[in-house]
Amino acid sequence: MIDPKSFFDFSGKSILVVGASRGGIGASIAQAFKLAGGEVTITGMEDEPAETERGRFPYVQLDVTDDAAVAALAEATPRLDVLINCAAISRRNHEYDLAIFQKVLEINLTGTVRISLAFLPQLKKSKGSVVNIGSMYGNFGSPKVPAYGASKGGVHQLTRSMAIDWAQYGIRVNAIAPGFIVTEQSRPGREDPDHYAAVVKRTPFGRWGEPDEMAGPALFLASPAASFVTGVTLLADGGYSAV
Ligand SMILES: NC(=O)c1ccc[n+]([C@@H]2O[C@H](COP(=O)([O-])OP(=O)(O)OC[C@H]3O[C@@H](n4cnc5c(N)ncnc54)[C@H](O)[C@@H]3O)[C@@H](O)[C@H]2O)c1
């Protein structure tokens, strides 16, 4: 049996967190893997990461909708043990515009599969692990962000499909469905006082979550502690979905 104390030792492991440039969930997950000994690279859409993230990790500017850029990064990455797919956008109150709807799907859902396929050779070699970041909105209706909800439902479903397919290579594929978390992406929602209060009221813990609270679930899913766990979407929502 593996010594459980070593479950979260990622020394010598190579980790890529796609979508960690704005100090949100991706950055917290990246920091946790780094503290656990991993060699972590982060990406984001911006030319440079947010000030809080600058210099903490090697950074690659990467648009997940750009086939050539994704292929070039994969080509330049000799090894990969853990892939975290965290890049996403939402456009609250604007997603019934079809162009915006398509863009959200292209980044959040197609981007996830594009990145995963690009790094499949490295993951096969390492018998690695993929953690996709879904959302509770992948399970519930989301009238103000219909494309976002559809994309995240797609991410949960894609997670199951990839898990089945890639088990033959020894690769595990799981997802996390965060609840309502304080980040830049959730700022428009948090600025709506009714929405903010409704989340607090329904969440058994009575508050929004912090990005750091998503790090433990990511480490667990990517670790040997989860060696027989694949195809799951782990809810991390302060009990919101249990109500
Ligand atoms: N904040 C929440 O309440 C919440 C809830 C559930 C799920 N999530 C999910 O968690 C993940 C991280 O979100 P966050 O809240 O930390 O937001 P964030 O805005 O801080 O992070 C999103 C990241 O995606 C990147 N990105 C955006 N468009 C991209 C593109 N075209 N190509 C490449 N990268 C791109 C951004 O550069 C950024 O690094 C997302 O998948 C989000 O959907 C967030």
Q: Ligand 1 centroid to 24 CA: how many Å? A: 7
Question: For position 53, what pLDDT does the model report?
Answer: 76
Closest CA to 241 of 109, 135, 144: 135
Both tokens assigned to 214: 């998503």
Is 91 a domain residue? Answer: yes
Q: Is 227 helix (H, G, I), strand (E, B) or coil?
A: coil
Bridge partners (DSSP) of residue 3 are none
User: Is the CB of 215 inside a 6 Å radius of any atom of ligand 1?
Assistant: no
User: Is the CB of 70 inside a 6 Å radius of any atom of ligand 1?
Assistant: no
- Domain of 227 in residue numbering reads as 4-237
Reported confidence tier of residue 178, pLDDT bands at 50, 70, 90:
very high
Q: Which residues of 96-107 are buried (b: 16+ CB within 10 A; e: fewer)?
A: eeeeebebbbbb
Reported confidence tier of residue 199, pLDDT bands at 50, 70, 90:
very high
Closest CA to 158 of 109, 197, 195: 109
> What is the radius of gyration, based on Cα positions, of the chain?
17
Are 201 and 228 contacting, i.e. CB atoms less than 8 angstroms apart? no
Active site residues: 148
Is 60 a domain residue? Answer: yes
For the entire predicted model, the pTM comes to 0.98
Are 218 and 131 contacting, i.e. CB atoms less than 8 angstroms apart? yes
Counting residues of the chain whose pLDDT is more than 70, the rounded percentage is 100
190, amino acid identity = R
Is 212 a domain residue? Answer: yes
Is 110 a domain residue? Answer: yes
Q: Which residues of 119-155 are buried (b: 16+ CB within 10 A; e: fewer)?
A: bbebbeebebbbbbbbbbbbbeebebbebbbbbbbbb
Is 173 a domain residue? Answer: yes
How many structural domains does the chain have? Answer: 1
Give per-residue pLDDT as tens, 49-103: 988 878 899 999 999 999 999 999 999 999 999 999 999 999 999 999 999 999 9
Q: Ligand 1 centroid to 19 CA: how many Å? A: 6
Is 226 a domain residue? Answer: yes
User: Is the CB of 32 inside a 6 Å radius of any atom of ligand 1?
Assistant: no
Both tokens assigned to 178: 């965060």
Pick 54 or 205 by higher pLDDT.
205
Are 70 and 114 contacting, i.e. CB atoms less than 8 angstroms apart? yes
Is 75 a domain residue? Answer: yes
Closest CA to 240 of 213, 211, 207, 210: 207
Determine the residue of 45, 132, 208, 214 to mutate for testing ligand 1's pocket, defined as the one with the most ligand atoms within 8 A of the Cβ atom: 45
Q: Which CATH number goes with the domain that contains 74? A: 3.40.50.720
Give per-residue pLDDT as tens, 106-151: 999 999 999 999 999 999 999 999 999 999 999 999 999 999 999 9
Is 243 a domain residue? Answer: no
Spatial distance between the Cα atoms of 162 and 130, rounded to a whole number of angstroms: 9
Are 168 and 147 contacting, i.e. CB atoms less than 8 angstroms apart? no
36 pLDDT more than 90:
yes
Spatial distance between the Cα atoms of 6 and 28, rounded to a whole number of angstroms: 21
Spatial distance between the Cα atoms of 30 and 39, rounded to a whole number of angstroms: 9
Burial of 168 (0-12, 13-18, 19+ CB in 10 A): exposed
Q: What is the mean pLDDT of the chain?
A: 97
> Any idea what DSSP says for residue 189?
H
